[in-house]
Amino acid sequence: MVAITARRMETEMGMLTKAWTQLRPHAGQAALWSCEERFVAVPAGRGSGKTELAKRRLVRFLPILKPWPNPQYFYGAPTRNQAKRIAWNDLKNLIPDSWKAEVREGELRIVTVFGSSVCIIGMDNPARVEGVQWDGCVLDESCDLKPGLFDRSIRPALVHRVGWCWRIGVPKRQGPGARDFRAFYESASAGEFPEATGFTWPSSDILPPEALAAAKASMDPKDYREQFDAHWETAGGQAFHSFDRDYNVRPCSYSPKKTIIVGSDFNVDPMAWVIGHRWPDHIEWFDELWMRDTNTPAALGALAGRYPGHTGQWEFYGDASAKARKTSAAASDRVHIMGHPKFRDMGHTIHYTESNPRVENRLAACNAMLCNAAGDRRMFIDPRCKRLIDDLEARCYKPGTRDLADVGDLGHITDAMGYPVHQLFPVRAEIFREQQTVITRGGTTSPYVFR
């Protein structure tokens, strides 16, 4: 097979392999596919087809004749493993076998019979693309890439071959490259960046209503607007932006027969714990434990003393440091809880993870429980939990960053709350192969497959 020109390619590309399924008609995607600008920014919703189009674009260019014998293209993501997971198998399936000269699994490179090649690269080490001239590339998950990567490493590597670059991703308000990606999109869309343009569309243009409804029920409004409406949210402000004292604070009753949930932040000063009940679709915090200059055995004794007649079970949740010697001299916090005679007699389970969840994931889970994108509030705090309420209102980000501005006692008790919430009511909205979405709410998985 001989290489072909771009114009002839437009007329001859059809169903190259079974992986080239028919996509749902969409004006924005059609405009993106046919645009001729070298540099394109695509901040679009989760599962909206942007990555699928980008992978097909890489394949589309492989047979195109160039003045040099070895046209080179790459797909890049924040890490090599992530890039491989997203694109490697899809590229192999999208490229016809008759085009393939070599498939180098170890190198993650496909060499074609035309002399061209496409490879997978992790952008955590920009040197992997430097020193080589490329004909085209895709940078996925752009908000999670290093700031300045495009200007310092990518654009210089496209100069001599007048290569093209698609920068794509969800418009996140967090991530090292979020501001860089947004600035690029805005300048490209406004015509201020030479040879560049921008496209955006929400997930609702592509995903079915059932998938969007499931996402709304498990996500807080800002996360939903960001992930599915493709809306640039602000990064500053309150960490618990969904909390509203008028709606989330109400009397929460204690039941002696119902399992008590304990969320723990292990510190010597202060020791901060939250105490509540889990209901089928919500959680209530009816008490808090706040002790100065103490240790885990003393806190356990105080907790048991508050509920001496409790006949239900206990569930303890906390950070990964509960496995290490931190607030106790002779044993880990976890061992103290396991061996405490009163809790052992009443019956209890312990839920401590191998490593702590990312802070933003804990905050997202809490915000979704305080008020999700559908307007449902599923977490309530009793008025007597004054420190927890104050922390929910006071905890915030450093201006212009996604770093928490925690000083003094701030953050301990909402961390204690976040560990059980993250485990019991996780927020997951994961897209697999761009064509399949899995929305998980409270442990129930509902798959939706899109064409």
* Distance separating alpha carbons of residues 152 and 140, to the nearest angstrom: 17
Contact 181, 151 (CB under 8 A): no
Same domain for 263 and 180: no
**What is the CATH number for 364?**
3.30.420.280
**What is the CATH number for 192?**
3.40.50.300
Measure Cα distances from 299 to 93, 204, 412 in Å: 58, 49, 15
Pull the structure tokens for residue 351. 């839920």
Give per-residue pLDDT as tens, 372-394.
999 999 999 999 999 999 899 98
Report which listed range, 209-213, 353-357, 443-447, is most confident.
209-213
For residue 334, what are the domain limits? Answer: 245-426
Give all strands (DSSP E) within 292-368, no chain letters: 314-318, 348-352
pLDDT of residue 403: 86
Give per-residue pLDDT as tens, 43-95.
999 999 999 999 999 999 999 999 999 999 999 999 999 999 999 999 999 99
3-state secondary structure at position 393: helix
pLDDT of 218 > 50? The answer is yes
Q: What percent of the chain has pLDDT over 70?
A: 88
Contact 143, 116 (CB under 8 A): no
pLDDT of residue 274: 98
Q: What mean pLDDT, rounded, does the chain reach? A: 87
pLDDT of 134 > 90? The answer is yes
pLDDT of residue 338: 79
Contact 28, 205 (CB under 8 A): yes
Mean pLDDT to the nearest integer, 368-373: 95
Strand order in the sheet with 436-441: 427-432, 436-441, 444-449
Question: End of a domain among 149, 180, 206?
Answer: 206
Mean pLDDT to the nearest integer, 346-351: 80
Mean pLDDT to the nearest integer, 22-42: 94
Contact 235, 400 (CB under 8 A): yes
pLDDT of residue 175: 83
Q: Higher-confidence residue: 159 or 24?
A: 159
Same domain for 275 and 198: no
User: Does residue 355 sit within a domain?
Assistant: yes
Give all strands (DSSP E) within 49-135, no chain letters: 72-77, 100-104, 109-112, 117-122
Amino acid, res. 196: A
User: Does residue 173 sit within a domain?
Assistant: yes
- In the block, tokens 């039941």 appear at 255
Same domain for 404 and 351: yes
User: Does residue 238 sit within a domain?
Assistant: no
User: Does residue 228 sit within a domain?
Assistant: no
pLDDT of 341 > 50? The answer is yes
Same domain for 391 and 301: yes
Give per-residue pLDDT as tens, 146-195.
999 999 999 999 999 999 999 999 999 878 898 899 999 999 999 998 89
* Distance separating alpha carbons of residues 421 and 286, to the nearest angstrom: 15
Confirm whether pTM is higher than 0.75: no
Q: How many domains does the chain have?
A: 2
3-state secondary structure at position 275: strand
